Amino acid sequence: MTKESAAERIAELRKALELHRRLYYEEDAPVISDFEYDRLERELARLEAAFPDLAAPESPAATVGGRVGKGFAPVPHPTPLLSLDNTYDESDVLEWNARLERALGKSPLDFVCEIKLDGLSVALTYRDGQFVTGATRGDGFVGEEVTANLATVADIPRTLTEAPAELVVRGEVYLPVRAFAELNEAREEEGLPVFANPRNAAAGSLRQIDPRQTARRPLACFCYQVLRAPELKLASQKEVLERLAHWGFKVEPNARWCHGIGEVLAYCREWTERRHELDYDADGVVIKLDSIPLQEMAGSTAKSPRWAVAFKFPAERAETLVEEIAVQVGRTGALTPVARVKPVRIGGVTVSRVSLHNEDEVRRKDVRVGDWVLIERAGGVIPYVVAVEREKRPPHSVPFPFPSTCPVCGAPVHKPEGEAIARCANRSCKAQLKEGIRHFASRAAMDVAGLGKVLVDQLVEQGLVETIPDLYALRLDQLAALPRMAERSASNLLQQLEASKQRPYPRVLYALGIRQVGEETAKALASRFRSIEALSAASREELQTVEGIGPKVAAEVRAFFEVERNQALIERLRGYGLKLSWEGEKASGPLAGLTFVLTGSLESMPRQRAKEALEALGASVAAAVTKETRFVVTGPGAGSKLDRARKEGIPILDEEALARLLNGDMSPVGR
The answer to whether 181 touches 195, Cβ cutoff 8 Å, is: no
Q: Given CA atoms 296, 298, 300, 305 in this order, what sign does their dihedral have?
A: negative
End-to-end CA distance of the chain: 83
* The 282-289 sheet, strands edge to edge: 86-87, 308-312, 282-289, 110-117, 256-259
Residue 350: helix, strand or coil by DSSP? strand
User: How many angstroms separate the CA atoms of 623 and 443, rounded?
Assistant: 29
* Catalytic residue selected from 106, 116, 238, 579: 116
User: How many angstroms separate the CA atoms of 441 and 444, rounded?
Assistant: 8
- CA 371 from chain centre, in angstroms, equals 31
**What length is written for the chain?**
671
Would you put residue 379 in left (φ > 0), alpha (ψ -120 to 50) or beta?
left
Going by C-alpha positions, the residue among 215, 118, 130, 246 that lies closest to residue 173 is: 118
Q: Is 365 a catalytic residue?
A: no
Q: Which residues contact 357 (CB under 8 A, 6 or more apart)?
A: 188, 193, 194, 336, 337, 420
- CA 490 from chain centre, in angstroms, equals 39
Q: Which residues contact 277 (CB under 8 A, 6 or more apart)?
A: none
Identity of residue 542:
E
DSSP 462-495: TTS-SSGGGGGG--HHHHHTSTT--HHHHHHHHH
The answer to whether 115 touches 285, Cβ cutoff 8 Å, is: yes
User: How many angstroms separate the CA atoms of 408 and 138, rounded?
Assistant: 47
Active site (catalytic) residues: 116
